[in-house]
C-alpha cells in the first residue's frame, strides 16, 4: 500500500510536468491543427538555459529559491524567442501547404535545435547543482519532497492562469475564435497571425517552465531529453483530447500516474512465478523465491506509447475532447 | 541517333559503370566498396519508405523499426545465438514477411487517423521496437539486449561464401565486392517493383488516397486495404534491407536502429523528391555520402584553421539534415527531382 501511495505521488508530480508540456502541444494544435514536433526541444532548451544560470549562481550565496527563479526568468524569454522564431520561419510560410510539409519542417527544426544545443551544452548529461535543501513530509505512508509539492502547486497555478487567459481575456477570445474559423476571425478584426504567434509564445513559455521543473526534479538535463518528453506529453495531449485545454491537464496527470504505477507494478504482474500454474511449469526458476519477470520497470517508456495507441484506436477524441482525430 | 537509341545507350553506360564500379573503388581501398554497399542499403531503405511516404502519402517516422526487425530475424536465424544457421534464401523471405506483419500491426490501429497522428504513432512504434530489442535479454535471452548479436553468418549462395575472396577468371572478388553485386541485384529488383507499382492500378489508388482520401473512397477504392498494403510492402523492403545489413555487418545491436536513422531515411525521400524513384535514389545517395564527404573536408579544414576539432562531422551532418528538411519544404517542397504528378500540382498545369 505504501508503495502504491508513493508511486501515486511520484506519478502526479511527473504528470503535472507532462500536463504543462502537453498544454503547449494542444494550444498550437487547437489553433492551427499542427503538431509542433519541435515543442519538446523548447522544453530541453528551457532546462539547459536554467542549468547554465543556476550553475553560475549556485556558488554566489543567493537563497536557493531566488537562484531557481532567476534561472526560470532567463529560460522563459529564451524559449519564447525560439518559439516565435520557429513559428515565423518554419511554420508560417507553410500555413497553406499540404499537411505533410509543416510536419517535415518541424522534424527539421527539432533536429537543428537538438544539435545546436549539443554544440552549446555538450553531449554530456549535465547534473544540476544540489542547492535546494531536501525537505520531506510524510503523508499517508508516502514521502513527499518540497520540490514535488512546489512542482504540483505551480503546475496547477499555471493551468488556472492559462484557463483564465483562454476563457476570460480578449487574447483568449481571439484565440478561440481563430481556432474555430480563422477566415471569419480575420473578418471580425482579429489579427490572426499575431494570435497564432502569441499561442506559440505562450506554449514556449510553459515549455520553458516545464523544462526547469523537470531539470530540478530529476537533477539532470541532456540535449536529447526533449524528444522523449515531448512524445509523452503529446501522448498526454491526445489522451485528454487534443486541442482541448482542460483535456491536456487531465491527460498529463493521468499519463503520469499510469506510467508511475505501471513501472511500479509491471514487474510483479508479469512475474510468472506469482501464478501457481505457471510457477509449477517453470519449476526450478521459481524455487526459493525466484522470479521470472517478463517485463520489468525498464519498459516504463513504453506505457505512454501504448496509451497513445489505445486512445487513438478506441477513443480518438480523447477523454474530454470533442475534436476527432480525423476531422478535416 | 533518335531518342530511343540514346536512351538505351545511356542505360548501357550506367549499367557498365555500375558493374565496373567496385573494381575502381577497390583500387582506392576496400573501405570504399563498403561505403558504396551502405549507400545501396540506404537506397533500398529509401525506396521502401518511398512506397509509404511518397506513393501513399503516409508519413512513417518509425521506418527503421522494420529494418531492425529484418536484421534481428536474420541474426536470430543465422548465428550462434540459438545455434540456427538457416540459408540466406530461406531467411530473407522470412525477414520480409515478419517485417510486413509488423507493418500491418502498425498500420491497422492508425488507419482511421490523419497523417500527423500517424507520424507520431509510427515514431512511438519505432521507439517501442527499440526498447524491446534493448530489454528482451530477460528473462529469456532472445536479443542479448544492448550487447547485440555477434557472429552472424555471412551470405552463402550456391556454394559461394560472401565473406571470403575468390578469384574468378584472374579477377579477385573480395567479400564486399560480392555483396555489392548482390545488393545491386536486389536494388534492381526493388527499383523495377517501384517503377511498375507507380503506374499500376495499385499505384494510382495510392496516389488517389494521398491526394484526397474521401474522394478516393467515393471512387470505390478500398482505402483501408490499400493503406495496409502500402505499409506491408514498405515494411517488407525495410526487412530485406535489414537482413542484408545483418549479413554484411556480422554484428547488430539496438544502437543501429535509433530514431536518427529513421529521420535520415525520411530526409532522403523528402530531399530527393517524394514519390519519384529517381529522385529518391539521388536523395539517398547524396545523404549517404554526406558523412564521408564531411570526413574528408570538415576535419582537415578545422585542423588547419583552429588546430583542433571544434565541431564533430557527426553534428554537422545532423545540422545539414535538419536544415535540408526545412529548406526543401520551404523552397522546393517537391524535392530536388520532383515526381511528375507533384510537379504538375505545383505549377497548376492540370491540362495534362
Rg of chain B in Å (alpha carbons): 21
Q: What pLDDT shows up at residue A197?
A: 94
- Residues above pLDDT 90, as percent of chain B: 13
The pLDDT of residue A217 is 87
CATH code: domain A2-254 is 1.10.3470
Q: Answer yes or no: do A104 and B321 touch at CB < 8 A.
A: no
Spell out the domains of chain B, with CATH numbers in brackets.
Answer: 3-347 (1.10.3470)
Q: Do A298 and B322 touch (CB under 8 A)?
A: no
Does A83 have pLDDT greater than 90? yes
Interface contact B15, partner A, CB < 8 A? no
Tell me which of A91, A95, A115 to substitute to probe the interface with B (most B C-beta atoms closer than 10 Å). Answer: A115
User: In the predicted model, is pLDDT for residue B22 greater than 50?
Assistant: yes
Instruction: Identify the weakest region by mean pLDDT among A31-40, A267-276, A317-326, B246-255.
Output: A317-326
Beta pairing partners, A127: A220
Indicate yes or no: CB of A97 within 8 angstroms of CB of B329.
yes
When mean pLDDT is compared across A51-55, B64-68, B129-133, the lowest value belongs to B129-133
**Distance of alpha carbon B291 from the chain centroid:** 16
Per CB-CB distance under 8 Å, the chain B contacts of A266 are none
CA dihedral sign, ordered B165, B171, B177, B183: negative
Strand partners, B84: B79
Cis previous bond, B60, omega within 30: no
DSSP bridge pairs for B79: B84
The interface pTM score, or ipTM, of the predicted complex is 0.81
Q: Terminus-to-terminus CA distance in chain B, angstroms?
A: 28
DSSP state of B337: S
Tell me how far apart the alpha carbons of residues B281 and B336 are, in angstroms, rounded to a whole number.
11
Contact A305 B326 (CB under 8 A): no
The stretch A85-107 carries a mean pLDDT of 85
Q: In the prediction, which pLDDT does B352 show?
A: 38
pTM of the prediction? 0.83
Report d(CA A193, CA A175) in Å as an integer.
11
Beta strands in chain B (DSSP E): 78-79, 84-85, 149-150, 156-157, 160-161, 166-168, 171-173, 251-252
Answer whether B325 sits within 8 Å of A111, measured CB to CB. yes
Torsion of CA B97, B212, B215, B279, to 10 degrees: -60
Query: Whole-number mean pLDDT of chain A?
Result: 85
Whether residue B69 is predicted with pLDDT greater than 50 in this model: the reply is yes
Q: For chain A, give every domain's residue range.
A: 2-254
Q: Over range A58-84, report the average pLDDT.
A: 89
Cβ contacts of A327 on chain B, cutoff 8 Å: 114
Q: Using CA atoms, how far apart are residues A203 and A243, in angstroms rounded to an integer?
A: 13
Model pLDDT for residues B284-340, shown as the tens digit of each residue:
888 888 777 777 777 777 777 777 777 777 788 888 888 888 888 888 777 777 766
Give the pLDDT of residue A328: 32
pLDDT above 90 for A199 = yes
**Considering chain A, what percentage of its residues have pLDDT values greater than 90?**
30
Residue entry with cell 499510469: A258
The DSSP-derived string for B72-128 is HHHHHHEETTTTEE--HHHHHHHHHHHHHHHHHHHHHHHTTS-HHHHHHHHHHHHHH
Q: What is the distance between the alpha carbons of residues A155 and A250, in angstroms, rounded to a whole number?
A: 12
The predicted-structure confidence for B314-325, as pLDDT tens digits, reads as follows: 788 888 888 888
Q: How confident is the model at residue B163 (pLDDT cuts 50, 70, 90)?
A: low
Compute the average pLDDT of residues A155-177: 90
- Write the pLDDT tens digit of every residue in A263-299: 877 777 777 776 766 666 666 666 666 666 677 767 7
Q: What share of chain A is helix, strand, coil (3-state, %, to 5)?
A: 75, 5, 20
Phi, psi for B243 (deg, rounded to 5): -60, -45
Question: How far is residue A25 from each of residues A18, A231, A320, measured CA to CA in Å?
Answer: 11, 10, 16
Q: How much is the pLDDT for B33?
A: 81
Give the C-alpha separation, A315 to A219, whole Å: 36
Buried b (16+ CB within 10 A) or exposed e, A175-209: bbbbbeebeebeeeebebeebbbbbbbbbbbbbbb
pLDDT at A326 over 50: no
What is the C-alpha separation between A212 and A215, in angstroms, rounded? 5
Distance from CA of A207 to the nearest CA of B (A): 19
B290 touches chain A (CB under 8 A): no
**Average pLDDT value for residue range B199-215:** 87
> B115 pLDDT exceeds 50?
yes
Q: What mean pLDDT, rounded, does chain B reach? A: 81
- Helices A192-218/A146-168 angle, 10° precision: 170
Q: For residues B74 and B242, is the Cβ–Cβ distance under 8 A? A: yes
Other beta carbons within 10 Å of A128:
22
Amino acid at each position: 500500500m505504501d508503495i502504491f501511495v508513493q508511486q501515486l505521488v511520484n506519478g502526479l508530480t511527473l504528470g503535472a510536468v507532462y500536463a504543462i508540456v502537453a498544454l503547449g502541444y494542444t494550444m498550437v494544435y487547437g489553433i492551427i491543427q499542427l503538431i509542433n514536433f519541435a515543442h519538446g526541444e523548447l522544453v530541453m532548451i528551457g532546462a539547459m538555459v536554467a542549468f547554465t544560470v543556476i550553475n553560475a549562481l549556485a556558488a554566489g550565496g543567493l537563497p536557493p529559491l531566488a537562484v531557481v527563479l532567476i534561472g526560470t526568468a532567463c529560460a522563459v524569454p529564451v524559449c519564447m524567442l525560439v518559439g516565435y522564431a520557429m513559428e515565423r520561419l518554419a511554420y508560417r510560410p507553410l500555413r497553406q501547404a499540404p499537411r505533410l510539409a509543416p510536419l517535415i519542417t518541424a522534424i527539421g527544426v527539432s533536429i537543428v535545435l537538438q544539435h545546436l544545443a549539443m554544440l552549446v551544452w555538450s553531449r554530456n548529461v549535465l547534473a544540476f547543482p544540489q542547492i535546494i535543501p531536501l525537505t520531506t513530509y510524510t503523508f499517508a505512508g508516502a514521502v513527499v519532497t518540497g520540490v514535488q509539492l512546489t512542482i504540483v502547486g505551480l503546475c496547477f497555478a499555471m493551468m488556472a492562469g492559462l484557463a483564465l487567459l483562454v476563457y476570460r481575456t480578449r487574447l483568449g477570445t481571439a484565440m478561440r475564435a481563430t481556432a474555430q474559423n480563422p477566415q471569419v476571425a480575420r473578418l471580425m478584426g482579429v489579427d490572426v497571425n499575431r494570435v497564432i504567434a502569441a499561442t506559440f509564445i505562450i506554449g514556449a513559455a510553459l515549455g520553458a517552465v516545464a523544462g526547469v521543473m523537470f531539470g530540478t526534479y530529476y537533477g539532470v538535463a541532456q540535449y536529447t531529453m526533449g524528444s522523449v518528453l515531448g512524445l509523452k506529453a503529446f501522448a498526454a495531449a491526445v489522451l485528454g483530447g487534443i486541442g482541448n485545454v482542460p483535456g491536456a491537464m487531465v491527460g498529463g496527470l493521468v499519463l503520469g500516474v499510469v506510467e508511475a504505477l505501471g513501472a511500479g507494478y509491471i514487474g510483479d504482474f508479469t512475474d510468472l512465478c506469482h501464478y501457481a500454474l505457471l510457477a509449477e511449469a517453470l519449476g526450478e526458476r521459481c524455487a526459493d523465491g525466484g522470479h521470472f519477470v517478463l517485463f520489468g520497470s525498464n519498459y516504463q517508456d513504453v506505457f505512454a506509447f501504448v496509451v497513445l495507441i489505445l486512445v487513438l484506436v478506441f477513443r480518438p477524441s480523447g477523454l474530454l475532447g470533442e475534436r476527432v482525430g480525423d476531422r478535416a | 541517333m533518335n531518342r530511343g537509341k540514346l536512351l538505351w545507350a545511356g542505360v548501357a553506360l550506367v549499367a557498365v559503370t555500375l558493374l565496373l564500379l567496385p573494381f575502381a573503388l577497390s583500387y582506392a581501398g576496400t573501405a570504399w566498396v563498403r561505403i558504396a554497399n551502405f549507400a545501396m542499403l540506404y537506397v533500398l531503405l529509401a525506396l521502401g519508405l518511398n512506397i509509404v511516404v511518397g506513393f501513399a502519402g503516409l508519413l512513417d517516422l518509425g521506418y527503421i523499426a522494420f529494418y531492425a526487425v529484418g536484421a534481428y530475424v536474420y541474426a536470430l536465424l543465422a548465428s550462434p545465438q540459438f545455434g540456427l544457421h538457416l540459408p540466406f534464401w530461406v531467411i530473407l523471405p522470412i525477414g520480409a514477411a515478419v517485417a510486413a506483419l509488423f507493418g500491418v500491426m502498425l498500420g491497422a490501429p492508425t488507419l482511421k487517423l490523419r497523417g500527423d497522428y500517424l507520424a507520431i504513432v509510427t515514431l512511438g512504434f519505432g521507439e517501442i521496437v527499440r526498447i524491446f530489442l534493448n530489454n528482451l535479454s530477460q528473462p529469456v535471452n532472445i536479443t542479448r539486449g544492448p550487447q547485440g548479436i555477434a557472429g552472424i553468418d555471412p551470405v552463402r549462395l550456391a556454394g559461394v561464401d560472401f565473406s571470403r575472396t575468390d578469384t574468378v577468371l584472374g579477377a579477385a572478388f573480395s567479400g564486399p565486392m560480392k555483396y555489392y553485386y548482390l545488393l545491386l541485384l536486389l536494388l534492381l529488383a526493388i527499383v523495377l517493383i517501384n517503377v511498375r507499382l507507380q503506374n499500376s492500378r495499385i499505384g494510382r489508388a495510392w496516389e488517389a488516397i494521398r491526394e484526397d482520401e474521401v474522394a478516393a473512397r467515393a471512387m470505390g477504392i478500398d482505402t483501408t486495404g490499400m493503406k495496409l498494403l502500402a505499409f506491408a510492402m514498405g515494411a517488407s523492403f525495410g526487412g530485406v534491407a535489414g537482413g542484408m545489413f545483418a549479413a554484411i555487418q556480422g554484428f547488430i545491436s539496438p544502437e543501429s536502429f535509433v530514431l536518427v536513422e529513421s529521420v535520415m531515411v525520411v530526409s532522403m525521400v523528402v530531399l530527393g523528391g517524394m514519390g519519384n524513384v529517381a529522385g529518391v535514389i539521388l536523395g539517398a545517395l547524396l545523404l549517404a555520402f554526406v558523412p564521408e564527404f564531411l570526413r574528408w573536408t570538415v576535419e582537415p579544414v578545422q585542423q588547419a584553421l583552429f588546430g583542433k576539432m571544434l565541431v564533430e562531422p557527426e553534428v554537422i551532418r545532423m545540422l545539414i539534415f535538419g536544415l535540408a528538411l526545412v529548406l526543401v519544404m520551404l523552397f522546393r517542397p517537391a524535392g530536388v527531382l520532383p515526381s511528375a504528378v507533384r510537379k504538375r500540382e505545383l505549377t497548376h498545369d492540370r491540362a495534362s
